[in-house]
Amino acid sequence: MSEGPRIGKDEWVARAGENIARNRLLRLFDRIPGWARLLAFVVGVALIPLITDDGYINAVVFDTLIFCLLAIGLNVVVGWGGLLDLGYIAFFGVGAYTYAILSSEKFDLHLTTPVVMVIAVVLGALLGFLVGLPSWRLVGDYLAIVTLFVYQIFISIVTNGHDLFGVDLTGGVNGIANLDPFDFFGLQIPVSHEGIFNSNYVYVALAVFVAVFVALYLVNHSRIGRSWRALREDTLAAELMGMPTDWLKLLAFAFGAAVAALTGSLFASLKVGVFPETFSLTLLITVYAMVILGGVGSQTGAVLGAVAVYVFLEALRDPDVSGWVFYVSIVLALLFLVRPRWMVAIVLAATAAFGFVVHAVVGAIDDSWTAGAPPDSDRITRLLDSWVAIPANPGDAKTLAYVSLVALLLFVTTLKGVWRWAALVPTLYLAAFVWENVLSLQPDVTRFVLLGAMLVGVMVTRPSGVLGEHRVEIV
């Protein structure tokens, strides 16, 4: 018999299951040691300001690092502790306001940033303990609702904080402006340098990120992290195996809160001011999307999710990019979903033909229906110019088209066989029409729609996120 591990039937099944869950690319990624991945990330980020002095790009890199920090902090509570914390962004806000109060003209306090950060971390951790208290009695959605109210309390306090028992603490809706730039014991880093974003902020954020990432990694690979995972799996069993679960839950909350507060103070050091509306529910949902997309419980996954989602969202501000994303993802979706494959070619060809006919007919009836200027004369739009009808005055047609697109989509799902393919052709054309006439004109709304579509796509193919462990709830 050959050497090496003997594999029984159970193991063979388990291994096969793992192989199905993790494709070849991911298994290759698994084989790279953790420190090498971190090093590659750090070097990659550190090089960006050297390659380009474009202020916008460097600002995006800084914000991406902020989101990475928020995501790995949230991963402690949600991924490792298994506690659904919807008040998370409140701690981010607490950190930012701590900075604003202690380091601005507001109270004429100008503490050095490292000191502010320490105060923010301590304050965040203490508040985390407090918010974690309901987790002794509540689990899952019940805990989520209670923590959501904590977030609401935070928003109420900061919005009405201009008259807190007669003291103006937070400046109310106007927030606190004129914040000091990052200050390292007297060494100041001005926010902008000759009118463009100071790329030194990227290095500050990167340093904070590495410190937090490594610290969290080490905690996770210790008896504390192990017991967090145990209590996520089965709280009662963890308690009965000698783990003080109540304390461990508070510790998870405090860790998440401390990371969020630290991130908040770093975030504020760059901004001119802090305002209540910065800490919106959209921000909370975005951070959750990052953690879920990357794979709940995986620290690397959280970072990957943060980078993917934030860069994606930023890129989609540009109508050119979002156009490409829209059309390419439709073709990809067809390739994945339509069987047999040659049917894709037929559907696309039919759609193209259908478009030219519609364009010609509509143009012949009324010139103004094809006279509309494309929103941006990038390549796709020019290509589509004689295909998609773009009315000069769409008016109600926009709404009508949008509603009928939704109706058609629902209709297509009820059809079977050849009728489905036939109905798909006008649906696709209508989708392009809606995109060119409605969606591409509002990139701020559309980018979230596209992000949602991307999330649905990824989560359907990988339910536990990109790097998430294949998890079993009940066997």
Name 168's Cβ contacts closer than 8 Å, sequence gap at least 6: 161, 162
Q: Does 463 bind another protein (CB under 8 A)?
A: no
Pairing of the two strands 187-189 and 192-193:
unpaired
Q: Does 83 bind another protein (CB under 8 A)?
A: no
Site stretch for another protein (CB under 8 A), options 188-196, 240-248, 374-382, 420-428: 240-248
Contact positions with another protein (CB under 8 A) in 88-127: none
d(CA 70, CA 271): 17
Decide whether 157 or 219 has the Cβ nearer to another protein: 219
Decide whether 49 or 82 has the Cβ nearer to another protein: 82
If you search the block for the tokens 């229906």, which residue do you land on?
369
Query: By the 8 A CB rule, do 347 and 425 touch?
Result: yes
Site stretch for another protein (CB under 8 A), options 27-35, 160-168, 180-188, 224-232: 224-232
Quote the tokens at residue 58: 């460097």
Q: Does 341 bind another protein (CB under 8 A)?
A: no
If you search the block for the tokens 């989520």, which residue do you land on?
144
Least separation in angstroms between CB 75 and another protein: 16
d(CA 72, CA 35): 16
Least separation in angstroms between CB 213 and another protein: 12
Name 282's Cβ contacts closer than 8 Å, sequence gap at least 6: 448
Q: Does 30 bind another protein (CB under 8 A)?
A: no
Site stretch for another protein (CB under 8 A), options 11-19, 54-62, 70-78, 142-150: 11-19
If you search the block for the tokens 């796509």, which residue do you land on?
457
Q: Does 277 bind another protein (CB under 8 A)?
A: no
Site stretch for another protein (CB under 8 A), options 110-118, 340-348, 420-428, 466-474: 466-474
The size of the interface with another protein (CB under 8 A), counted in residues, is 38
Q: Does 346 bind another protein (CB under 8 A)?
A: no
d(CA 329, CA 306): 21
Query: By the 8 A CB rule, do 260 and 224 touch?
Result: no
Query: By the 8 A CB rule, do 283 and 89 touch?
Result: yes
If you search the block for the tokens 């339910």, which residue do you land on?
463
d(CA 436, CA 178): 42
Decide whether 16 or 145 has the Cβ nearer to another protein: 16
How would DSSP label each residue in 355-386? HHHHHHHHHHH-GGGG-PPPSS--HHHHHHTT
Q: Does 370 bind another protein (CB under 8 A)?
A: no
Q: Does 244 bind another protein (CB under 8 A)?
A: yes
Q: Which amino acid is residue 413, in one-letter code?
A: T
Least separation in angstroms between CB 227 and another protein: 5
Name 110's Cβ contacts closer than 8 Å, sequence gap at least 6: 103, 104, 180, 183
Q: Does 236 bind another protein (CB under 8 A)?
A: yes
Q: Does 238 bind another protein (CB under 8 A)?
A: yes
Contact pick of 120, 251, 309, 334 for another protein (by CB under 8 A): 251
Site stretch for another protein (CB under 8 A), options 49-57, 114-122, 218-226, 368-376: 218-226
Site stretch for another protein (CB under 8 A), options 5-13, 72-80, 334-342, 370-378: 5-13
Decide whether 13 or 407 has the Cβ nearer to another protein: 13
d(CA 65, CA 71): 10
If you search the block for the tokens 């047609």, which residue do you land on?
397
Strands (E), 109-222: 109-110, 182-184, 187-189, 192-193, 196-197
Site stretch for another protein (CB under 8 A), options 6-14, 261-269, 314-322, 332-340: 6-14
Contact pick of 6, 24, 31, 339 for another protein (by CB under 8 A): 6
Decide whether 104 or 227 has the Cβ nearer to another protein: 227
SS3 content of the chain, % helix, strand, coil (to 5): 70, 5, 25
Q: Which residues bind another protein (CB under 8 A)?
A: 5-7, 10-11, 13-14, 215, 218-219, 221-227, 229-230, 233-234, 236-246, 251, 469, 471-473, 475
